[in-house]
Amino acid sequence: MREGMMEPLVSVLIPAYRAGATLRDAVESALRGGLPAERLEVLVESDDGSDCAMVAGLPSVQVAVTGIVGSGTGAARNRALARARGAFVACLDADDLLAPGWLAALLPKARAEGAAVSALEVEEGGAVILQLWQDLRRLGFADLAASGASVRGLVARRLCPPFVEALSQDVLHMLQVMAQRGGCLPVGAAPYRLRMNGQGVTAAADFPVRVHAAYLEHVARLEADAMLPPEMARAAAQVFRAKIALNAAFVAEGAGRSYYRFIADRLRG
């Protein structure tokens, strides 16, 4: 490191697979996260052989092209995590967005408690169809179980377990972090925006079957995790048991709706 240069404080991990239409928007949202450029690194991990030229020249951005193709989101995140230099890590999908100031809003909370999560917005067809946790001060296992949604946040690098290659890995990862920190985390009001385009994993016809199998694997994985306090591991596993029940309700009652449209309707009662 040259004299006078500072190490990045936050690393944002972005796996990129056939993401040419959305990647720049995602990266630029991270750059608007409220941190000085020298304290941020945005690690784009190509998983399709692309050089990601549309973002390669942006400040704070590093693109890794390893030649590995189609390894999956978990493997790509792990490669980015291995080269992350920041003391704190956030995951951003290449088709999602961080609200302006998202990183700066979460950083003090993550510094104080090791990790923090954010409010969530789900966009479908260009409109926000679901908003979660804007009014919560802390998010616990029960909140996640009731929502059936994904969760994102900012986590101390030292607390980050490796990612697995499975559906709902983002929820598993955050549950593992939460279990290390007593089962709940502070919430930042600046939202993470999930952008659903009707062509993703949750839109596939076999999604309910595949995600059911993944949830069962996550329950077993959490309950067997010797690194977690047993009572926390059991409580975290209950989140996936709740998601199994919610997935069954989606199969029975979804009636042509997307998963998140079903969730939004259900939460509205």
How much is the CA Rg of the chain, to the nearest whole Å?
A: 18
CATH number at residue 136: 3.90.550.10
User: Tell me, what's the pLDDT at 3?
Assistant: 44
User: Tell me, what's the pLDDT at 143?
Assistant: 97
In a domain, 52, yes or no: yes
In a domain, 48, yes or no: yes
Question: What is the span of the domain harbouring residue 116?
Answer: 10-198
In a domain, 218, yes or no: no
> Do 207 and 259 contact (CB within 8 A), yes or no?
yes
The string of DSSP letters for the chain reads --TT----SEEEEEEESS-TTTHHHHHHHHHTSSS-GGGEEEEEEESBS---HHHHTSTTEEEEE-S-BS--HHHHHHHHHHH--SSEEEE--TT-EEPTTHHHHHHHHHHHHSEEEEEEEEEETTEEEEEESTT-SEEEHHHHHHH-----EEEEGGG-PPPPSSTTHHHHHHHHHHHHTTTEEEEEEEEEEEEE-S-SGGGSTTHHHHHHHHHHHHHHHHHT-TTS-HHHHHHHHHHHHHHHHHHHHHHHH-TT--HHHHHHHHHH-
User: Tell me, what's the pLDDT at 1?
Assistant: 42
In a domain, 263, yes or no: no
Q: Which residues of the chain have pLDDT under 70?
A: 1-5, 199-200
Total tally of structural domains belonging to the chain: 1
- Residue closest to 170 by CA, chosen among 144, 196, 205, 195: 144
State pLDDT tens for residues 197-233: 876 677 778 889 999 999 999 999 999 999 899 999 9
In a domain, 129, yes or no: yes
User: Tell me, what's the pLDDT at 148?
Assistant: 92
In a domain, 2, yes or no: no
Q: Angle, nearest 10°, between helix axes 230-253 and 169-180? A: 150
